[in-house]
Amino acid sequence: MSISDRVGTAVKLYESISPANEPYKLQYEAIELWKGIITDILAAMAETTDKAKQELLDECAVISVLIGRGHSETDEPMNGYPFLMASLGFFAARLDTALPVGAVNEVQRSIDRVDWYPTDSPAPADAETRGILLPVTVDTINQLSLVWGNRDEVELASEVLAIAETLYKTVQLPKSDTSDLAKVVSATGVELEKVYTNTLYYIGQNMTGVDRDVAIEYITQTLDRQYDLGIYDPQDWAQNVLAMSVALTESDIKRVGKLLSQVDVVLEEISDAENRVEMRAQWHLTWARLIGALLTRSLTKFQSSIAQVDRDDSVNSSEELWENLDESSVVSGPNQAEKIYQDMLDHYKACLDFYKLDGFVSDHVEIAVERSQMIGTYSNIVGLIGSGTALERHNRQCKLQIERSRLLWSYPKQLNKSMYLGLILDIMLDLADSTTDRFSLKLEADKTDSARQVGNLAISLYTDIVKHIAEFVHQSRETSGQQDLDVIPDIVTDVPNDLASRLIVALFSVGRIYLQIPGATVEYIRKALKCFERILLWQEKHEGDDNFAQQVAISQQMAELLPLKLKHLM
């Protein structure tokens, strides 16, 4: 068997390596075969010309890299280090490239541990040989960067990876269009592009603790190139993109949108159906979070300069919006915001449908809470720049916040609702309090119809708060959908202390609004009286608690006056 045939056999043997009952057996067999080939090459060199000797030494250096890589996948990975270092020193001389001092010292120590390295310095390669050696040199640097990274020699790894970049850039690229990857590959060769893509990834990994933004840029370039070159494992690539999207969202929302569109295609290439479905759920969640980030950023812009809002921001599709997103990565107005908001809800729904499966309960709740927060962000956009009058915007904002709290309340029943009841109540209280302030302004301005409308809205919000507390106390949904306080059970004596303040505020506010609404009917006065009586009932059960002294005092007065007023009216 010729040397060439034996090299081919060794490579095939190495490529067939897989976990077996005898760990590392095939690796060590391949390593011994490669070492034997080098021995035969050295024996054959005595009877060849100088040119042929140089070609055989090139083969030895390449095989030495294979030996180094083979050792890296055994239980003694560092045994391959001298083979990699000696090859690096040889290739650097052949490519007429200087190594950093640290690497030169490592090369000198490694030369003595291999038997193929020439006594004379290798001569620079011709153009044809240079093209052959470039990919394997860059690959050798990649392998060594992993070793140095594991030894925390980050500086040395960075210096040598920089050489790989420089070597790649020595290739004559097409002058017309270096953004056309097909033209670049025709000039550099597929193998060089593959190993250089790995170089970019290793540089990114190496820069993670030094400059996060630079690291993100390098790793994103890697993902782009892997996709364009078609050199990726579908599941690994998709997972890497989804992980990178979290970091990249802060700096380049539009670019993340492009990557996620590519993931949409790649996911269909995952052969395992179960993995594909789970990855699709993660994809939906990442899209939802990306849109949420865009809405949050847009809200900040609207809050800082409402005058710059474009109210004619028509858009035919969210895809068109994404393609035309400006450099500031914000939507220009309410129409665009509404379009992507609906897309966000669709993505959250698809994700939550997956996480309803057994085993994902906590993830389900976490995502539901997250969705609720994004609904709150969008409701603030509506309240700030939505269409219609200020009152119409406020009404729509209230509806969104009510939807937000009810969605939260519905996920999932099997968990203790106290985990997120406080969040729901705080959402509703903030909204109800702001609506009450608006009600007071309408009263002061003597706008009777508007005051009545806003007052009833505030009552419905506070009533929802009482309902949520009642349902929590009784762990029942029997009163769900009811808006009248009369049908809500008396729960004030059983309410936990941490919910008491919210309950008292809600009851007291509803009672006052019922009395203040223009043209208050007998029915409204009865409902107000019931609210004040419940506050007094709570006080009876919590004697000595002065936290609500003012509300209790006023409730006492109302409980005495209102029956007289009702008697007079009737």
How many angstroms separate the CA atoms of 447 and 155, rounded?
Answer: 72
Helix or strand run (H / E) with residue 471: helix 448-474
Class of residue 340 by CB neighbours under 10 A (exposed 0-12, middle 13-18, buried 19+) = buried
Higher pLDDT among residues 140 and 386, named by residue: 140
Are the C-beta atoms of 514 and 530 separated by less than 8 Å?
A: no
Among candidates 157, 161, 228, 159, which has minimal Cα distance to 199? 161
Q: Please determine, for residue 12, whether its predicted confidence score (pLDDT) is greater than 70.
A: no
Q: Please determine, for residue 2, whether its predicted confidence score (pLDDT) is greater than 70.
A: no
How many angstroms separate the CA atoms of 335 and 333, rounded?
Answer: 6
Residue that the structure tokens 């303040």 belong to:
501
How many angstroms separate the CA atoms of 6 and 391, rounded?
Answer: 83
Q: What is the Cα Rg of the chain in Å?
A: 36
Q: Please determine, for residue 290, whether its predicted confidence score (pLDDT) is greater than 90.
A: yes
Q: Please determine, for residue 256, whether its predicted confidence score (pLDDT) is greater than 80.
A: yes
Question: Diameter of the chain by CA atoms?
Answer: 126
Structure tokens at 478: 């029997």
**Digit-coded pLDDT (tens) for 221-239:** 999 999 988 889 999 999 9
Q: Please determine, for residue 491, whether its predicted confidence score (pLDDT) is greater than 70.
A: no
How many angstroms separate the CA atoms of 193 and 272, rounded?
Answer: 29
Are the C-beta atoms of 372 and 407 separated by less than 8 Å?
A: yes
* Banded model confidence at residue 143, pLDDT cuts 50, 70, 90: very high
Residue that the structure tokens 């033209």 belong to:
183
How many angstroms separate the CA atoms of 322 and 315, rounded?
Answer: 10
Q: What are phi and psi of 222, to 5 degrees?
A: -60, -45
Residue that the structure tokens 């700030």 belong to:
384
How many angstroms separate the CA atoms of 306 and 356, rounded?
Answer: 40
Among candidates 472, 468, 494, which has minimal Cα distance to 481? 468
Q: Name the residue ranges covered by the structural domains of the chain.
A: 1-134, 257-390
**Digit-coded pLDDT (tens) for 347-370:** 999 998 888 765 666 777 788 888
Structure tokens at 296: 């949050």
**Digit-coded pLDDT (tens) for 370-379:** 898 899 899 9
**Digit-coded pLDDT (tens) for 99-110:** 988 889 999 999
**Digit-coded pLDDT (tens) for 319-336:** 777 777 776 788 888 888
Per-residue CA distances from 256 to 195, 280, 287, 293 (Å): 24, 16, 9, 11
CA angle 306, 310, 316 (to 5 degrees): 140
DSSP codes joined into one string, 130-167: HHHHHHHHHHHHHHHHHHHHHTT-HHHHHHHHHHHHHH
How many angstroms separate the CA atoms of 340 and 97, rounded?
Answer: 52
Question: pLDDT > 70: what percent of the chain?
Answer: 85
Looking at residue 174, its pLDDT comes to 47
How many angstroms separate the CA atoms of 459 and 437, rounded?
Answer: 13
Are the C-beta atoms of 263 and 241 separated by less than 8 Å?
A: yes
Are the C-beta atoms of 260 and 291 separated by less than 8 Å?
A: no
CA dihedral 9, 15, 20, 25 (to 10 degrees): 50
Looking at residue 415, its pLDDT comes to 52
How many angstroms separate the CA atoms of 451 and 445, rounded?
Answer: 9
Displacement of CA 347 from its chain's centroid (Å): 14
Higher pLDDT among residues 15 and 147, named by residue: 147
Residue that the structure tokens 């009876």 belong to:
540
Looking at residue 182, its pLDDT comes to 54
Among candidates 421, 432, 417, which has minimal Cα distance to 462? 432
Looking at residue 15, its pLDDT comes to 59
Looking at residue 25, its pLDDT comes to 80
- What's the whole-number average pLDDT of the chain? 83
Q: Please determine, for residue 1, whether its predicted confidence score (pLDDT) is greater than 60.
A: no
Task: Give 309's DSSP letter.
Answer: -
Among candidates 501, 497, 412, which has minimal Cα distance to 465? 501
In 327-373, where do the E strands start and end? Answer: none
* Banded model confidence at residue 75, pLDDT cuts 50, 70, 90: confident
Looking at residue 479, its pLDDT comes to 46
The predicted model gives 44-52 an average pLDDT of 82
Are the C-beta atoms of 287 and 245 separated by less than 8 Å?
A: no
Per-residue CA distances from 377 to 1, 389, 392, 435 (Å): 72, 20, 18, 18
CA dihedral 171, 173, 178, 181 (to 10 degrees): -70
How many angstroms separate the CA atoms of 61 and 76, rounded?
Answer: 21
The predicted model gives 295-306 an average pLDDT of 86
Q: Please determine, for residue 218, whether its predicted confidence score (pLDDT) is greater than 70.
A: yes
**Digit-coded pLDDT (tens) for 263-289:** 999 999 999 999 999 999 999 999 999
CA angle 296, 300, 306 (to 5 degrees): 130
Low-confidence winner among 56-65, 181-190, 420-429 (lowest mean pLDDT): 181-190
How many angstroms separate the CA atoms of 217 and 248, rounded?
Answer: 9
Q: Please determine, for residue 481, whether its predicted confidence score (pLDDT) is greater than 70.
A: no
Looking at residue 399, its pLDDT comes to 85
Contacts of 545 (CB under 8 A, 6+ apart): 539
**Digit-coded pLDDT (tens) for 448-477:** 888 888 999 899 889 888 888 887 777 544
Among candidates 518, 513, 496, which has minimal Cα distance to 558? 513
Residue that the structure tokens 């895809």 belong to:
319
* Banded model confidence at residue 176, pLDDT cuts 50, 70, 90: very low
